Amino acid sequence: MVTTEQVMEALSTVDDPEIGRPITELDMVADVRIDATVVTVNVRLTVPGCPLKDRINADVTAAVRALDGVEEVAVVFGTMTEQQRAAVAAKVRGGATDDAGQPAIPFNDVDSQTKVLAIASGKGGVGKSSITVNLAVALAQQGYDVGILDADIWGYSIPRMLGVSGRPVAFNNMVMPLQGNGVKVISIGFFLDSEKPVIWRGPMLHRALQQFLADVHWGDLDFLLCDLPPGTGDIAISLAQMLPKADMLVVTTPQPAAQRVALRAGQTTAQTGMRVAGVIENMSSFIAPDTGTEYHIFGQGGGELLASELDTKLLGSIPIEPRLREGCDSGMPLVIGDPEAPAAVRLREIATGLGRRSSSLVGKPLPLAI
């Protein structure tokens, strides 16, 4: 006859689909009864009428049914009490709060192993979001756990570029990020009516960002990429103040005018404690597919110049690639859709460099939330 321990072990392979943790760890298994070959599992749902009840039912049944000596599985559902839910939320969150009693930003913890990269640009349209998405996916392809915080509040475009839509699930004041192409993502776009402009004022935006950092269950990320709004506005400064350990990557196009405004964005780090970790030049040139001739449509040398002015390195130059734009529009990042395209190769090289630079962190034990 099967034992309770064996059933519990099988149940520890079943994740809650929303929270992404084993149901045993979340105290969702209220009781297990074994009657010869029949096993009854009482599952406590975190919310009544949980939309994923059927999925949990199927997963629990399959896991227990696979055990030797089990012929029938019955799953009985109940709901957690408010107290039980609060206990689980505290467990998932890790219970950390800041001095003001607010949920703490885990990335500022001295033991945090997450490399936070803020992607900035002087003006819109230089490819900051496209690069954020492709770098994130390239890092995920290299085996890192990666998240994107879309902080480009007015011009949010990450969900579309990553091919993710929907509304994240909230659980006792904690929000579960959505996931696309192997990358976790949270964006203001998930919480807004896409037809309406964002009319929030500074304090609300500040609070939203604070929540995105502290109340989202990011898990143990290796990299968090923050797509900043273009320029040197409040949001960029707010975020820099919330993430003093972050490094900034500045994206520019090669022409002098773009490079000059990007310089101002990079210089905000002097006021905020962030460090500029490098410059990425985008739309560097266009290589004609028929002749192979390279055209410097937007001029030359802006990335190099910006890097030297910010006393940092040029991490790479990415050519104009129509398939990159098409991929952004269709939610299929170039590094997945066309990994051998020259722009994809360059993006991967930059990602490899970023990974290498934080590789001293890899292999160290990750801080556990519980």
Q: Does 125 bind ligand ADP (CB under 6 A)?
A: yes
Site string for ligand ADP, 73-112 (x = CB under 6 A): ----------------------------------------
Q: Residue 190: which of 175, 200, 205 has the closest Cα?
A: 175
Amino acid at 69: G
Choose between 330 and 359: whose C-beta lies nearer to ligand ADP.
Answer: 330
Q: Which of 114, 126, 309, 301 is nearest to 229 (CA)?
A: 126
Indicate the angle between helix axes 234-242 and 202-214, nearest 10 degrees.
30
264 or 325: CB nearest ligand ADP: 325
Least CB distance to ligand ADP at residue 323 (A):
8
Nearer to ligand ADP, 135 or 320 (CB): 320
Residues 174, 85: Cα–Cα separation, whole Å: 11
Among positions 326-365, residues that touch ligand ADP (CB under 6 A) are 328, 343
Tell me the closest approach of the beta carbon of residue 251 to ligand ADP, in angstroms.
6
Whole-Å CA distances, 58 to 52, 64, 114, 369: 10, 10, 35, 28
Residue 232, interface with ligand ADP (CB under 6 A)?
A: no
| Minimum CB distance to ligand ADP smaller for 103 or for 327 | 327
For residue 183, the minimal CB distance to ligand ADP (Å) is 15
Binding mask 258-297 vs ligand ADP (x if CB under 6 A, - otherwise)?
------------------------xx--------------
Site for ligand ADP, residues 157 to 216, rule: CB under 6 A: 157
Closest chain position to ligand ADP (CB) = 127
| Residues touching ligand ADP, count (CB under 6 A) | 19
Considering only residues 291 to 330 of the shown chain, the ones binding ligand ADP according to CB under 6 A are 318, 320-321, 324-325, 328
Strands in 275-282's sheet, in edge-to-edge order, are: 178-180, 183-187, 146-150, 223-227, 115-121, 247-252, 275-282, 314-318
Residue 124 binds ligand ADP, judged by CB under 6 A? yes
- CA 149/CA 208 separation, integer angstroms: 11
Please report which helix (H) or strand (E) contains residue 349, including its range. helix 342-357
Which alpha helices (DSSP H) does 166-315 contain, by range?
Answer: 202-214, 234-242, 256-267, 269-272, 302-309
Rounded CA gap, 335 and 16, in Å? 30
Query: Which residues of the chain form contacts with ligand ADP (CB under 6 A)?
Result: 121, 124-130, 155, 157, 282-283, 318, 320-321, 324-325, 328, 343
